[in-house]
Structure formats: structure tokens, C-alpha cells
Amino acid sequence: MKLSIVPLLVASILLGIVSLVVSADDIATLRNATAIDTQKEPEAIPKVNNDDVRRSRAYPMQPPLIPHKIDNYQVDLNANKCMSCHSRDRIEESQAPMVSVTHYMDRDGNFLAEISPRRYFCNQCHVVQHDAKELVSNQFVDMYQLMNQKQQESGNQPAESSD
Amino acid sequence: MKNTIKRIWHTLRRPSVHYSLGTLVIGGFVAGIIFWGGFNTALEVTNTEAFCTGCHEMRDNVFEELKTTIHYTNRSGVRATCPDCHVPHDWTDKIARKMQASKEVWGKIFGTINTREKFLAKRRELAEHEWARLKANDSLECRNCHNFEYMDYTAQSGRAAQQHSTNLASGEKTCIDCHKGIAHELPDMSGIEGW
């Protein structure tokens, strides 16, 4: 029994050293390297972007972001506030973007008259954006940008070779 | 019975024997003030949030829901109480609404919505009454505070300004057409226009 404790002790000491080294890295967290035994001063709650300007994607296949406030929007068994503007038969009056056709399909690909129950809770995928500083910067490059880059490079090469 | 009525009628028709005209006039005047003041005070008591939430039907259902909305807590601390939205401010309309509310006393006595389940089952009907009332009076109770004349579109979000400057300004729509469920949870909305 005594023998088995020694490697455990060694391992825990090693783990401690490793964690010290890792914590030296400036990984941005919500606690922002505040010591574990102290309570962090809470940040001011950022405002929700409400400018109705649609944003491009921040990563591949990102669900479109909500560019407006959704405070107290009721989405439950009784009512779906989102769909009172974004459903097919409401967009003419509301001029809001229509939810995509995939949202009317069940998982077997059959089209339904109403929005599919598996897509009903909009906020599972679609979220608002806060007017806050990014904790981690995003270097995502859209596919079209990559393709354009490639085309430009390949377009430049023959131009260079013809010179 | 017939004799009693006859006797009272006879007494009323005769001039007063024991009391002077002054006593009767001044006494009547004072009694009038007390009666009218008492009536209005009692009316105003029924027009307070404490009165509405005195019953568990309101306190545990609709009042709880109000607490999460902007009409209860907000940046400037101006808030709406139950009667601000549910009772007309003008005297005649107020009395008419209070007379209708006698049906709610009936409901209270016989426990029409005395459980959560009963309330949820009746919610659509109750909500429809309020929508119909606000539609009929052009959302009068909203407009007691939210006066269209003083709305600044430039301070509104783009979408809000667009809707208010067209549909609301033309009178085609009224507040309740779009702002259903602004202060309470919605019932089953199937079949409601715009949902």
C-alpha cells in the first residue's frame, strides 16, 4: 500500500508544475487569470447589437446571427415570437428574412406545412451578438475568400509567365 | 308590504316637522361629500396593484409574469401597474369597466380560475377579451403613456421606426396588433392573425 502512494505523490507534484506552466500562458478566460480563491469583479453586461445589419459567418456552416434584440421573445408550446415575423406567410408584411426551406423538413427529408419540431427552438442555433471585446480573436477565412485568393494567385502566375 | 311603501312615500312627500331647512341642507351637503368621497376612495382602492394581487389568481399567475417584463422593471424605473393597462382612466369608461368587473367577483366566488390548470385552460379566452378591448378602443391604455404624437422615430431601432411610421401612423394598425404578450405570457396562438 505504501509503495503505491509514492508514484501518486510524484504524479500530483508533476501535475502541479505542469499546471503552473500552463497558467503562465495568457489564455483569455471569463475569469481572466483571477486567482481561484478570489471573486472576480464582474464585467459590465454588454449591450445586445440591435442594428438589423446582417453579418457574415464567423465559421463554416454557422447559423445566421440575430442582428436585433430578442428580450422576452416567447418560444414555447403556445407561441413562437420569432416565427411571427420570419415564417413564410409573415415575411411580406414583416420584410424579415424567411427561415430556410430545410427548417420545414423532418429528418427524413419530407416537407412539412409548418416548421419542423426539431427546428422549432430558434435559439438552439441562432443567437444575438453582444457589443463586447472578443476574448479570442477569430482568423476564420471564408471559402469564397480562399477561392478568390487562389484564382488571383493562379491568374497572376500566367500573367507573370507571359511577361 | 304595500302599506309600508305607502307610509314611506307619505313621509317623504310631507315637509319636515322637526328639522330646520338649514339642518337638512347642510346635513345633506355633508352627507353628500362623505358619500361621494367614500365612493371614490373605495373605487380607487380597487384600482391599486395591492388590491389586484390580493387574490392568488392574479398574484401567482399574471403578476408573476409581469415581473420579468419591461413594464415592471427597466432602466428608468417608470413602471405600469395593473390598472394602468387594464382600467380606463376616464371616469365614465372606468365605471363601465368596473361594472363589467362584477363578473370577475362572480368568478372569484365560484373559483373559475382558482387553480393553475383552470387558469391555463381559460387563458386564451381571457386574453381574447383584452385583445378585443384594446383593439376596440385603439389601444387607449397603451396610449395613456405611449403617445404617438411624441414618438421620436430617430431614437427607435430601424425596424420599429419603419413599422411605427407606416402602419401605426396610418391608423391601419394599433399597438395591440403587434405587441400581444408584451406584459404577460401568451396563450396558444394558433389561428390568431399574425402568428
Per-residue pLDDT of chain B (195 residues; tens, 9 = 90+): 889 999 999 988 988 888 899 999 999 999 999 999 999 999 999 999 999 999 999 999 999 999 999 999 999 999 999 999 999 888 898 999 999 989 999 999 999 999 999 999 999 999 999 999 999 999 999 999 999 999 999 999 888 999 999 999 999 999 999 999 999 999 999 989 888
d(CA B14, CA A71): 70
Residue of B nearest to A87 (CA): B195
Q: Does B68 touch chain A (CB under 8 A)?
A: yes
**C-alpha cell read off for A106:** 423532418
Residue A1, in any domain of the structure: no
Q: Which candidate in B67, B185, B192, B193 is best for mutational testing of the A interface (most A CBs within 10 A)?
A: B185
pTM of the model: 0.77
Residue of A nearest to B162 (CA): A94
Work out the minimum CA distance from B84 to partner chain A, whole angstroms.
21
Alpha helices in A87-142 (DSSP H): 91-94
Instruction: Let me know whether B134 and B67 are in one domain.
Output: yes
Instruction: Let me know whether B91 and B26 are in one domain.
Output: no
Work out the minimum CA distance from A5 to partner chain B, whole angstroms.
55
* Residue ranges making up the domain that contains B25: 21-52
Number of domains in chain B: 2
ipTM of the complex: 0.77
Say which amino acid occupies A61.
M
Residue A64, in any domain of the structure: yes
- Domain CATH code at residue A98: 1.10.1130.10
Strand partners, A66: A128
Nearest CA-CA partner of A33 in A41, A23, A42, A43: A23
| Set of chain B residues whose Cβ sits within 8 Å of the Cβ of A69 | 157
Nearest CA-CA partner of A67 in A136, A122, A130: A130
Quick check: helix, strand or coil at residue B162? helix
| Set of chain B residues whose Cβ sits within 8 Å of the Cβ of A80 | 195
Please answer yes or no on whether B157 and A81 come within 8 Å at the CB atom.
Answer: no
Residue B193, in any domain of the structure: no
